Amino acid sequence: MATPNPSFTTAVRAFDDAAIAEAARLIGEGQCAAIPTETVYGLAADATNGEAVARIYEAKGRPSFNPLIVHVPTIDAAQQIATFDEAAEKLAAAFWPGPLTLVLPRRADCPIAGLATAGLDTIAIRVPAHPAMQALLKASDKPLAAPSANASGRISPTRAEHVLATLCGHIPLIVDAGPTSHGLESTIVAAMGGTIRLLRPGPISAEEIERVAGLALSSSETGNIEAPGQLESHYAPEKPLRLNAADALAGEWLIGFGDVVGDATLSGSSDLVEAAATLFERLHQAEASERPRIAVAPIPENGLGAAINDRLRRAAA
């Protein structure tokens, strides 16, 4: 966790034109602001300004080798920064704006700060759909580097209160537009040289990616330096977590699913879309409870279940 920075009092402002103008002013000064996307809240800064990007790592207490996702308002803007092969073009056309991040070769004239890509010659880019993030991209007129707005190694934030819980005193502003709709970080696909690789499962499934790209995904080693977000500690709550639990043992707060009711459920109707949207909310609830341990009901492995189980296995590791 980062050490408190007494120079910030963290303002929380409801999403409106004035809040976006204030966030854009901070971004222009090289500061960060927390802003919702359709996946999770992001901690945004000007991706072309290395010092501004450094403030993101500072606020999050994040290991410096983790490259960040750069957000742009349109496909055209993305094409100024990175090189698209045929599969990348198809994926962008089908899923942007939306919860897909493409890892692509940086263009030689790419204006993005090296720190934002951790020195890699590839860049992770996304065109987000959320109106607040879109408004900030337009008002600031900058590509915005934005990792999830949580202290490093803590649960990703799906509400302004979650951002406040770990970044209060570390950042000047949180724009609050209520809970995010997916509640799960974007799917990350590397698309270059005519091959596609899944670097992080997310709201868009592997099957949808393969269908749209017209290619099979090549295998990708987990823990590869290319996707350090896959490090096991990345999604961990601070309490031990037990998977595939049908009942709570003594001292456990049980996160339910389907027939397993639990203290609160991911989805009583076994709906994986609902489960993904509530996953981080439930982990936050479990972490905030009086009980020392967390247990989670079994989640099927199909569709979005693969992404949910990926997050849960990392949290349990």
Q: Select the span of 144-152, 235-243, 286-294, 300-308 touching ligand TXA (CB under 6 A).
A: 144-152
Give, as ranges, the residues between 228 and 267 that touch ligand TXA (CB under 6 A).
228-229
- Least distance to ligand TXA, CB of residue 249, Å: 32
Number of H helices, E strands in the chain: 9, 15
Q: Which is nearer to ligand TXA, 24 or 144 (CB)?
A: 144
Q: Which segments within 91-208 are labelled E, that is strand?
A: 100-105, 122-126, 144-145, 173-176, 187-192, 195-200
Identity of the amino acid at 79: Q
Contacts of 180 (CB under 8 A, 6+ apart): 36, 37, 38, 39, 40, 41, 130, 158, 159
In the bound state, the residue with its beta carbon closest to ligand TXA is: 229
Report the residue number, 115 or 275, with the smaller CB distance to ligand TXA: 115
- Applying CB under 6 A, among 226, 252, 281, 287 the residue interacting with ligand TXA is 226
Measured in degrees and rounded to the nearest 5, phi and psi for residue 174 equal -120, 125
Closest by Cα among 149, 172, 160, 133 to 62: 149
Partner from Mg ion, ligand TXA, none contacting 311, C-beta within 5 to 8 A by type: none
Residue 105: phi, psi to the nearest 5? Answer: -65, 135
Residues that bind Mg ion (CB under 5 A): 148
Residue 68 partner contact from Mg ion, ligand TXA, none using kind-dependent CB cut-offs of 5 to 8 Å: ligand TXA
* Binding of residue 186 to ligand TXA (CB under 6 A): yes
What is the closest distance, in whole angstroms, from the C-beta atom of residue 102 to ligand TXA in the complex?
A: 10
| Minimum distance, C-beta of residue 152 to ligand TXA, in the bound complex (Å) | 9
- Residue 226 binds what, of Mg ion, ligand TXA, none (CB under 5 to 8 Å, by partner type)? ligand TXA
**Distance of CA 304 to CAs 37, 204, 232, 236, Å?**
19, 8, 19, 19
Count residues near ligand TXA (CB under 6 A): 28
Beta-strand relationship, 41-46 and 100-105? unpaired
Q: How far is the CB of 278 from Mg ion (least distance, A)?
A: 18
For the segment 23-82, give every residue that binds ligand TXA (CB under 6 A).
Answer: 37, 39-40, 42, 66-69
- The CA distance from 266 to 287, in Å, is 15
Stretch that binds ligand TXA, among 6-14, 78-86, 141-149, 306-314 (CB under 6 A): 141-149
Among 280, 273, 86, 124, CA closest to 200: 124
Closest CA to 11 of 195, 177, 174, 150: 174
Judge whether 177 and 42 are in contact, CB under 8 Å. Answer: no
CA gap 266, 279 in Å, rounded? 6
Smaller CB separation from ligand TXA, 126 or 284? 126
Residue closer to Mg ion (CB basis): 183 or 262: 183
Q: Binding segment for ligand TXA among 10-18, 185-193, 267-275, 294-302 (CB under 6 A)?
A: 185-193
Among 148, 152, 181, 205, binds ligand TXA (CB under 6 A): 148
The site for ligand TXA (CB under 6 A) is made up of 37, 39-40, 42, 66-69, 101, 103, 117, 120, 122-124, 126, 146-148, 185-186, 188, 199-200, 226-229
